[in-house]
Amino acid sequence: MNNSCNENNELIFSFNAYSKENKLFLMNLKIEDENLVFTYTNKINLETKEFIYKISYDEIKQIKIFSITENLEQVVKSIIDIINNNCKMNIYPLIKEQINEIILIIPLKFDNLNELEFKLVEKEKNLNEITDDLIIFVKEKDKKISEIFSKINIINNKLDDKEDILKNLENRINKIEIQMEKEKNFKEQFNKLSKEDKIFIEVFPDININDEKYEIKKEYYNDFKLKKIGQFLKENNQYNGKVIEFFENENKKYEGDYKNDKREGKGILYYENRNKKYEGNFKLNKWDGKGIKYDIKGNKIYEGDYKEGFPHGKGISYYENGNKNYEGDYKNCIKEGKGIWYYNNGNKMFEGEIKQNEAYKGIKYDKKGNKIYEGEFKEGVPHGKGISFYENGNKEYEGDFKNEKKDGKGILYDNEGNKIYEGNFKDDIMAD
């Protein structure tokens, strides 16, 4: 900005202004006599406009004082205020309209336009850097805000989970309280029952003793010991439902389901010594369906399918030591079909076809698990076509067998697999 007093007592203010539309203007403010003259020139097309305003001596003095401070913005603002106070027309909107809003006021010391352009580029660069920094700052803030909201959501979810847990606990407490109330009522009713009824309820606690369709019927031996107690259906005057039978020594004989006065459904049969005898399905008083049979000592001896009281279908028999004895097919209590026999050490003895409880066709093993014969059997011994083996797995003999002996045509091998004789055999001896 330049300010000076000429011989005609003129005070001149000159400065460049840069608009949003990248137009460069030269702006002049002159005080001439008692007038304020404002002009601006477009440096591109050199178009000039001028405005003249009447001002007082005091105002001229005030402008001079401002000019000494060299505060360009304050000078311009003061001049515009003076003009606005003395004119009917507000000059600032006019200036704003004419130069499309001044965004940068540049002192006249930047006479070199290249220097001015460089400065403007630098300012634009700085603005871009500031903008980039602001963008990064905003992104970081957005990220932090997202993280905060994510944590809030997690907390809300945990709160929801806690609410669900509390609801579940509340439901469980309610169920426990209901159960406790039921148990309380049950105990009150239980204490009123007879000794026999208590025995029955202890075995079948889920029975509703107040069911009007049934009565709890009891039968006794001649010495008044309890023989049978159970649900008796009033409609047909028969045991239907849960029943307990007793030996004369007062030990349980049977407990389980009844239908039309017969054991039918699931039940347990006992020896007099209280050990289980059979546990499984019943039909018309007979073992029928899936079941397990025990010996009097309590050892499991058979598990599988039953029909009309006998093993029938798939089943497993056991040695007293608990190892399998046989696993396979049964027909009316007879081993018949596919099956495997075992030694009591757990190794296979025979695997193949079985007829009438005897091996019919298959593989025989020794106690160590080595295959010793493969072929036909009769009454449980090799008979017919077959192959015997050495312990190393090589063939020992291939041909005809009769009652477990080589008999008929056959081939004999050494333990390395070499053929040593081919011909007829009789009672295990070469006959040629």
| Tens-place pLDDT, residues 277-314 | 999 999 999 999 999 999 999 999 999 999 999 999 99
Q: Which of 156-170, 224-238, 338-352 has the lowest mean pLDDT?
A: 156-170
Residue 4 has pLDDT above 50, yes or no: no
| pLDDT score at 171 | 83
CB 281: neighbour CB atoms within 10 A? 20
| pLDDT score at 315 | 97
Tell me if the pTM is above 0.75: no
CA–CA dist 316, 335 (Å, integer): 10
What are 279's two structure tokens?
Answer: 């546990």
Give the tens place of pLDDT for each residue, 52-90. 666 666 666 666 555 554 455 555 566 666 555 654 444
Give the tens place of pLDDT for each residue, 214-265. 888 999 999 889 999 999 998 889 999 999 999 999 999 999 999 999 999 9
Q: Which residue has the higher pLDDT, 149 or 122?
A: 149
Residue 169 has pLDDT above 70, yes or no: yes
Give mean pLDDT, residues 94-123.
46
| pLDDT score at 111 | 41
Give mean pLDDT, residues 5-9.
41
Contact yes or no for 314/333 (Cβ under 8 A): no
| pLDDT score at 389 | 97
| pLDDT score at 183 | 66
Give the tens place of pLDDT for each residue, 355-414. 999 999 999 999 999 999 999 999 999 999 999 999 999 999 999 999 999 999 999 999
The pLDDT-based confidence of 108 (bands split at 50, 70, 90) is very low
- Nearest-CA neighbor of 299 among 322, 278, 279? 322
The pLDDT-based confidence of 205 (bands split at 50, 70, 90) is confident
The pLDDT-based confidence of 272 (bands split at 50, 70, 90) is very high
Which phi and psi (to 5°) does residue 204 adopt? -125, 75
The pLDDT-based confidence of 106 (bands split at 50, 70, 90) is very low
The pLDDT-based confidence of 49 (bands split at 50, 70, 90) is low
Across all residues in the chain, what is the average pLDDT? 79
CA atoms 259, 264, 268, 272: torsion sign? positive
